[in-house]
């Protein structure tokens, strides 16, 4: 007996749900870690003011902020990172050594260093071109947006904020792998 369209649709939906459950098991998520995934926030600069959202994430951090950004010059973001450090948050930054030629980047990094925030730069020939932050093991960001005044005010940029445990864990692992790699990254100053 052929399935009606409605039953066929329900069967397909059931397969998608089962696939999602199996995928969650395949990536090693335990029931306690498989909390509902919130849709990503997708913000465009300048109209959505993504730098303001980044500052709010940093201001709400309680445990850690692991930031890898090619460019970091926007004073309000630098101040939000310093304030987080003063609250006892583990703040770490990785950036690109080529950006050290930019006086604004050097000033921002010096401000972070004086606040006790460790900074690393790449030693390898390629760019450290990531633009990601991991906040409190609960959220991570990605996209084209550097954390600069130009990105916040003028450029066409995209910032994705992901509330997904699996991608947040993977972003943190990538950051910590880079942080521990003394061949490819070195302490700044």
Q: Which of 50, 58, 53 is nearest to 156 (CA)?
A: 50
Q: 94 and 157 in contact (C-beta within 8 Å)? A: no
Q: What is the pTM of this model?
A: 0.80
To 10 degrees, the CA torsion angle through 93, 36, 44, 169?
20
**CATH architecture label of 37-187:** 2-Layer Sandwich (3.30)
Q: Which of 142, 145, 148 is nearest to 157 (CA)?
A: 145
| Tens digit of pLDDT at every position of the chain (189 positions) | 454 555 544 444 444 433 343 344 344 444 444 556 789 999 999 999 999 999 999 999 999 999 999 999 999 999 999 999 999 999 999 999 999 999 999 999 999 999 999 999 999 999 999 999 999 999 999 999 999 999 999 999 999 999 999 999 999 999 999 999 999 999 998
For the chain, the structural domain boundaries read 1-34, 37-187
């Amino acid at each position: 007996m052929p399935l009606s369209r409605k039953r066929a649709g329900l069967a397909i939906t059931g397969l998608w749900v089962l696939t999602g459950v199996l995928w969650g098991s395949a990536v090693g998520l335990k029931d306690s870690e498989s909390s509902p995934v919130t849709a990503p926030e997708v913000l465009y600069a300048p109209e959505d003011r993504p730098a303001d959202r980044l500052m709010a994430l940093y201001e709400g951090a309680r445990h850690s902020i692991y930031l890898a950004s090619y460019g970091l010059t926007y004073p309000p973001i630098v101040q939000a990172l310093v304030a987080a450090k003063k609250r006892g948050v583990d703040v770490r930054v990785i950036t690109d050594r080529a950006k050290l030629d930019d006086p604004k980047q050097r000033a921002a990094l010096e401000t972070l260093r004086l606040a006790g925030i460790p900074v690393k730069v790449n030693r390898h020939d390629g760019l450290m071109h990531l633009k990601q932050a991991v906040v409190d093991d609960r959220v991570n960001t990605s996209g084209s947006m550097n954390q600069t005044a130009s990105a916040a005010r003028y450029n066409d940029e995209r910032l994705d904020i992901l509330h997904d445990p699996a991608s947040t864990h993977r972003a943190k692992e990538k950051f910590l792998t880079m942080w521990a790699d003394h061949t490819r990254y070195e302490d700044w100053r």
